Structure 1
Amino acid sequence: MAISSNSTEKWWKNFPWREIQTNLREIDMLDIDAEQFVRDLKEFKANVVMINTAGIIASYPTKLPYHFQSPYLTGDSLADIIAACHREGIKVIARTDFSKVRRPIYEMHPEWAYVSPKGEIVDYNGDVHVCLNGDYQQHYAPEIIKEAITELDFDGIFFNMGGYQVKDYSYRYYGICHCDSCKTKFAAMFDSQLPKEENPNDPVFKKYMVFKERTLKEYAQKMHQVILGVRPDICIANNFELKEGMIRQESNTALDRPLPHWQYSASDNTKWAVSSYPNMVSSNTTVDFIDYHHRHGAISPQQQKLRLCQALANGGGLDYYLIGRLDNHEDQSGYEGIKEMFHYHAEHGQEYMNITSQATIALLNGPNGNQAEFRGWFRFLTENHFQFDTLMVQNALNLPWDKYKAIIVPDYQPLSDELTQRLDAFAQAGGTLISVCRSGFQNEVYQKRETLPFQSMGLERVNTIREDNRSSYFKVDHEDQFPRFPVTKLIYLDNHYVFADYSSKAETYFKLIPPHMYGPPERCYYTQVTEHPGFTVHPYGKGQGIYIPWKPGELFHRQGYTNTSEFVADLLEHVAGLTRIQGNLPPMVEATLFEQQGRGATLLHLVNGTGHFGVTFYAPVTLSDLEVQVPLSSAPRSVQSLYTGRRCAYSFSDGLLTVKLDKLGMFDAIKISR
């Protein structure tokens, strides 16, 4: 059935998003039953489903000669499945993947393939990798898309494994693509040959990073124009150019991924999507399986549920992704917890419409950031119950910063002049700008800056950066501002340190004890205490710049000692003057505040992460007799748990609301009505 739509209605706006991705295998289409498929979705109360459609394999009868049609289409058709979903009010997203073609198609057009620096293609079980810059993705994929979304009544579209793929499903690395299309485009852009390896210190590789950014943006714009040209009503995943549609991400695991597990994966993904692209739907999926190699075995049920709790608590929708169909999946251990959260959201979905974060702190991040440093700061803020948003570098300049009292730049090196100047202006207007280590030491095209990035920091000159500081410490002074260190006089250091000269207006805190003897025990002592600071505070206009010349976040992310986190907590609270949620919440409970716009109510979410133990996610420990203190302008009319349906005991005094909870399992959502 051909589809023709001139509608521009954005169905996903203020839509209570509950998606399930059934990543259908070829064999799932042999006996698929449309009505059973819908009944299974309804058991979960899902209202969006993603189905494999086009690209590597066509899951529908295609008329295009270079679109490999599945030989297994003997069950109900994709058209029948879509129609059955629509009858029950379920939206359908087309999953596409143009990163590979079947071997027979490659044989007809070998020029479409990715080519390694050694001149080799990647053939993985008969699927050959193709290059973003080749004619298949540039010219043929748009024709496949047009056919799929005009012949079938889809509501949205998602592109899987886009961009420059340099690994196969076994995680084998092949290197930068050296196909003729890449060589020609790169030479035209930079009058240079492609780099042979990914070396961040190589000037040619820095150009290649710019090349990738530009070509990816051009490709996305082309594909989005194709889609909206024939179906302006379709929801496009990850359409960052128009900043509408949905942002589709994954919380997943991999057997050989470096530890520690990122326990805030769903919070992290959801937070940046909601904060940086407020007009888009955040759809962060919990991936059911362990890794590519073990797609039929599920991860811990509690880990799956925790991800959904984190997504809701940070303002996102719900999303669950499994291999195969719901009815024939062989490890359904996660179903109970996933259904519980989907059912809760189905009952209270309207409570999550048009909500905005009450964060007063922004944490900067982006694709070229130091993710270890960022994750350490994410933990500092979360586990000390500071309310914060994540602003992505790509869109930070397009967002208002009025509500923020502080912005943290966690060792993010490549920043544009425009962004560094606006960050300075933020401090000058009265905000606190916190810059960590090498933040802004490069411009947006990865070139070293000739001048220092932030005037607000009070740095006059960087003398050197020392990478090996093992056995170093900072000697604590200003003890009145660091009450978390009543008997501790040293804070340890074990990574980069920036030796710099500072303005006379900058106040220095702590004193660096440089590397010294640590063995044998008889000679384990230091003899030197320098004037090099642990951090500085520089007045700037109506605000201030705080400069930290080392990387506490990276250290905490790797090692997790409270010696580091308590330093940052005191710095934020007693030096920067930032407020946090008070009470007796343990660090393992994540707390977020969202305002229900136009309804005079606030949502307080609590996510209990005590089940995360080592590398395992168990059921959380039920917590008792909790008190949560949040600032409020006036006494509330009511305080009620949406999750349990029970009213909460509370008290109000001097602009501070104290909410009392008898019990907290993994999740609670407390509505504070004024």
Structure 2
Amino acid sequence: MKKITVLICICLCAASLFAQTVKKEDFWWKKNNLRVIQMNLPAYEGATIHADSIVADLEKYSANTLLINAGGIMAFYPTKLDFHYQNPYSTDNYILGDVIRKCHEKNIRVIVRFDFSRVHESIFKAHPDWCYISPKGERIINTDMYVVSINAPYVQEKAFKIIEEVISLFPVDGIFLNMPGYQVNNPYEGKYHGIDQNDYDKKRFTAFSGGMKLPTEENKADTLFQKYLEFKKQTVEDWSERLHKLVKSRNSQIAICTYSDKFVDIIRHESQSMTTLPYWPYTASDNVANAVNSFPEHIISNASIQQISFQSRYNAVEPQEVQIRLYENIANGSGLDLSMMGDMRGYEDERNYDVIRTVYAFHKKNEPYFGKYQSVAKIAVIAPGAWPSGEPMQEYRGIQLMLKEAHIPFDIIEDGQIAHLAEKVKNYKLLILPEITYLKPESLETLKQASRQGTHLIATSRSLFDSPETLQELFGAKIEKKDNDGAGNYLVPDDRRIFKRFPGQKMLFWKFNLGLYDLKGADQQLLPILAKGRPGPPEIIGGHDLTGYHAMGIKNHGKSKAVIFPVNLGKLYYVHGYQEHKNLLLDAIDYILPEAKETIQTNAPARVEVIVKEFVKNTDASREKKTSDGMILHLVNLTGFSGNTYFEPLPLYHLEFRIKSEKMPKKVFALANGRAVKFQTKDGFIHLELDKLEGFEGIVMEWN
């Protein structure tokens, strides 16, 4: 017995020493070469899954990481915990252990999935106090599963026991947490229920707030709700930190993966099917670019979700959409990630299989050129959070769309990360704020410092409306009416030294919000606003007189300019796509940052997504290297996207590119077709010619 005790102590000490001495660069996920296939198993597949067939499929599709169910909602292994509902189809076998063992034999990592958002009704009946209750006294129920409360004992205590049991039984490489945090919706039925009123939440919030009562309504203008948002943030981070300590004390090489950034190793995001028009074909670029620039110390894995919707899980999105998502992942610095219902055998919709096999094999073959990128962008677009929604999302996407179609490179930085990335932010030549309505004081100070140091600013719509002093200081703007229906108004592109893209146009129609701002504090007032005039038959129209207001102001600072468009510029383009509205932004950029259009010049159509990065070879030999090995030009062909349908992309011929670069390449070649690419170097530019572009191409320009 003494010998066993001594051996256990030695093992624990060794594990602790191992956890302390492993460099973060040596963690397996840091290589950033993930090729994930997630098998979201329905309960009944617990009886039919087979380790050999799963591994064979993963190898066939060049996957190097499996994400598969383990526990939470139900245990996919024989659990000994009475509060962990046992999957009735997998009660007496350890198939999960077989899957992990056989994956490891083929050098495939296994991340296991937990979902602690729900418990089975048998657990609810025994512990109703563990579960969510709405302000109306309702539960959130999906068949026989009840949503839990994050501050109740199931999440705060039992979840850790479940994780402990799994990582003690199985040598997992990572854990993935699905649906973490507070629940207010039943997303599977599209119904909002409200702030959880569980007694444990009430007591903890009262203690946190110094006696306040838990709010029942989500109102951002309410100071009580603002306090509740702080409470949610702190309690989620507290739980995440406890989980991190538990997992890393057992094995520092177990990766923690979920949708947040605190106390995790891999940030996961999702490209999902759109439920409203217009569809957004840049979801993967949007998600990955936001995350990799906002959280540069993390690895990003953006999942292409196969299903059409929660109500239509057995129908996959179109193969061409999946192809775009996967290539955009690669181009923006992520690995590959695909989430499907069940395993790959007998799947209900196999149309995407050829695309998956092709793109995953492409990534595997060319792995050294992916995953270690440095941006060349001079512009950053500020994102309204990690999961934008509503009008801010429309404004944000519209601005992205304008830049994408103009082939102007840009990074994305989440609004909440501005102050944390202050030095990086101040190095951009231009920051664009598309309806960024609120920033913390430290973020506002970062913007002011950037402006003083030479960074130009462009703000649109209601940006910074709750900081009038910042609007006045940076933009010379004062709000008179921030919400104003612009339907029927016109703008006049008056100064043709700035507005060069409007030959033959004297008036530009408007729609959506048209803020009425006092711009006398700006150095230039542009785009005079004309009144709505007289609607009606042709005989009586007219009367579009000057209102005295302007839709654009420019304030000169010592080393920079700040431009404000107090109008829904991005939303209007996102929803309707009129070129005249895009041209307003492009003319403004040309005026304050003319070199922006020099980074990439091409004859490629607007529907070709052009992404250029500097790269360091993703090999063990280059692990510590900081200087780049070259540039890579990613081309994603979106010509098959028609607005609400995805078709095969049209092949494009004789594309030319002119790329600004301080270094000149010794060799240029295409990854997809494997051929050398014609190039010339002259006056600080690399000139490339691509004979043909099909779905995707990556053109490598190696320095030596």
Asked if the contact 2:335–2:371 (Cα under 8 Å) also holds between the matched residues in 1, the reply is no
- Please state whether the residue corresponding to 2:561 is helix, strand or coil: strand
Q: 2 CA distance for matches of 1:488 and 1:656?
A: 35
> What one-letter code is carried by the residue in structure 2 that aligns with 1:631?
K
- The corresponding residue for 2:409 is 387
Change (3 A) 1:425 1:38: same
Q: 2 CA distance for matches of 1:124 and 1:36?
A: 31
Deviation at 1:181, TM superposition (A): 1.9
**Pair 1:136-2:136 in alignment:** no
- The corresponding residue for 1:249 is 269
- Please state whether the residue corresponding to 1:13 is helix, strand or coil: helix
Asked if the contact 1:428–1:544 (Cα under 8 Å) also holds between the matched residues in 2, the reply is no
- Please state whether the residue corresponding to 1:101 is helix, strand or coil: strand
**Pair 1:517-2:537 in alignment:** no
Q: 1 CA distance for matches of 2:514 and 2:579?
A: 20
Tell me the percent identity.
Answer: 32
- The corresponding residue for 2:114 is 96
> What one-letter code is carried by the residue in structure 1 that aligns with 2:287?
N
Map Cα deviations across residues 12-48 of structure 1 (whole Å, 9 max, x no partner): 1124211000111222221322122111100011001
TM-score scaled by length of structure 2 = 0.90
Which shows bigger deviation, 652-661 or 73-82? 73-82
**Pair 1:424-2:448 in alignment:** yes
- Please state whether the residue corresponding to 1:616 is helix, strand or coil: coil
Deviation at 1:348, TM superposition (A): 0.5
Which shows bigger deviation, 228-237 or 51-60? 228-237
Asked if the contact 1:420–1:440 (Cα under 8 Å) also holds between the matched residues in 2, the reply is no
**Pair 1:415-2:439 in alignment:** yes
Asked if the contact 2:261–2:295 (Cα under 8 Å) also holds between the matched residues in 1, the reply is no
Deviation at 1:362, TM superposition (A): 0.8
Map Cα deviations across residues 194-249 of structure 1 (whole Å, 9 max, x no partner): 33333444444444333333332333223222222323221111485557621111
Asked if the contact 2:679–2:688 (Cα under 8 Å) also holds between the matched residues in 1, the reply is yes
Which shows bigger deviation, 116-125 or 432-441? 432-441
Q: 1 CA distance for matches of 2:94 and 2:237?
A: 37
Q: 2 CA distance for matches of 1:405 and 1:185?
A: 45
**Pair 1:434-2:483 in alignment:** no
- Please state whether the residue corresponding to 1:643 is helix, strand or coil: coil
Deviation at 1:343, TM superposition (A): 0.2
Q: 2 CA distance for matches of 1:618 and 1:423?
A: 42
Q: 2 CA distance for matches of 1:99 and 1:424?
A: 42
Which shows bigger deviation, 213-222 or 111-120? 213-222
Change (3 A) 1:504 1:51: closer
Structure 2 counterparts to residues 195-344 of structure 1, below 5 A: 195-238=215-258, 245-253=265-273, 257-344=275-362
- The corresponding residue for 1:361 is 379
- Please state whether the residue corresponding to 2:550 is helix, strand or coil: coil
Change (3 A) 1:240 1:107: closer
- The corresponding residue for 1:151 is 169
Asked if the contact 2:522–2:553 (Cα under 8 Å) also holds between the matched residues in 1, the reply is no
- Please state whether the residue corresponding to 1:218 is helix, strand or coil: helix
**Pair 1:582-2:601 in alignment:** yes
- The corresponding residue for 1:126 is 144
Q: 2 CA distance for matches of 1:454 and 1:142?
A: 50
Which shows bigger deviation, 421-430 or 160-169? 160-169
Change (3 A) 1:402 1:466: closer
Map Cα deviations across residues 52-89 of structure 1 (whole Å, 9 max, x no partner): 01101011122211011112226662111101111111
Which shows bigger deviation, 101-110 or 639-648? 639-648
**Pair 1:187-2:211 in alignment:** no
Which shows bigger deviation, 49-58 or 609-618? 609-618
Deviation at 1:626, TM superposition (A): 1.2
Q: 2 CA distance for matches of 1:207 and 1:188?
A: 12
Q: 1 CA distance for matches of 2:412 and 2:605?
A: 23
Higher helix share: 2
> What one-letter code is carried by the residue in structure 1 that aligns with 2:254?
I
Please point out which of 626, 631, 652 is paired with 2:655. 626
> What one-letter code is carried by the residue in structure 2 that aligns with 1:307?
R
Deviation at 1:265, TM superposition (A): 0.7
Q: 1 CA distance for matches of 2:106 and 2:335?
A: 20
- The corresponding residue for 2:35 is 18
**Pair 1:610-2:632 in alignment:** no
Please point out which of 648, 652, 657 is paired with 2:686. 657
- Please state whether the residue corresponding to 1:483 is helix, strand or coil: coil
- Please state whether the residue corresponding to 1:550 is helix, strand or coil: coil
Deviation at 1:452, TM superposition (A): 3.5
Q: 2 CA distance for matches of 1:354 and 1:522?
A: 64
Which shows bigger deviation, 499-508 or 664-673? 499-508
Change (3 A) 1:474 1:337: same
- The corresponding residue for 2:394 is 372
C-alpha RMSD of the superposition: 2.1
Runs of 4+ in structure 1 displaced over 6 angstroms?
Answer: none
Change (3 A) 1:608 1:242: same
**Pair 1:472-2:501 in alignment:** no
> What one-letter code is carried by the residue in structure 2 that aligns with 1:589?
V
Q: 2 CA distance for matches of 1:216 and 1:647?
A: 51
Change (3 A) 1:419 1:381: same
Which shows bigger deviation, 11-20 or 332-341? 11-20
Which shows bigger deviation, 385-394 or 496-505? 496-505
> What one-letter code is carried by the residue in structure 2 that aligns with 1:394?
G
Structure 2 counterparts to residues 594-605 of structure 1, below 5 A: 594-597=613-616, 598-605=627-634
- The corresponding residue for 2:190 is 171
Segments of 5+ residues of structure 1 without an aligned counterpart are: 443-448
Change (3 A) 1:658 1:489: farther
Q: 2 CA distance for matches of 1:186 and 1:481?
A: 54
Which shows bigger deviation, 203-212 or 55-64? 203-212
> What one-letter code is carried by the residue in structure 1 that aligns with 2:671?
L
TM-score scaled by length of structure 1 = 0.94
Q: 1 CA distance for matches of 2:201 and 2:217?
A: 14
Asked if the contact 2:456–2:592 (Cα under 8 Å) also holds between the matched residues in 1, the reply is no
- The corresponding residue for 2:76 is 59
Asked if the contact 2:330–2:371 (Cα under 8 Å) also holds between the matched residues in 1, the reply is no
Deviation at 1:102, TM superposition (A): 0.3
- Please state whether the residue corresponding to 1:209 is helix, strand or coil: helix
Map Cα deviations across residues 591-623 of structure 1 (whole Å, 9 max, x no partner): 111111334310000111111113111111111
Q: 2 CA distance for matches of 1:578 and 1:537?
A: 19
Deviation at 1:672, TM superposition (A): 1.0
- The corresponding residue for 1:446 is none
Deviation at 1:522, TM superposition (A): 1.9
- Please state whether the residue corresponding to 1:79 is helix, strand or coil: helix
- Please state whether the residue corresponding to 1:611 is helix, strand or coil: coil
Q: 2 CA distance for matches of 1:124 and 1:72?
A: 19
- Please state whether the residue corresponding to 2:114 is helix, strand or coil: strand
- The corresponding residue for 1:485 is 502
- The corresponding residue for 2:551 is 534
Deviation at 1:625, TM superposition (A): 1.5
Which shows bigger deviation, 504-513 or 191-200? 191-200
Q: 2 CA distance for matches of 1:605 and 1:527?
A: 47
Change (3 A) 1:294 1:502: closer
> What one-letter code is carried by the residue in structure 2 that aligns with 1:490?
M
Deviation at 1:167, TM superposition (A): 2.4
Q: 1 CA distance for matches of 2:101 and 2:249?
A: 23
Change (3 A) 1:329 1:533: same
Segments of 5+ residues of structure 2 without an aligned counterpart are: 1-7, 617-626
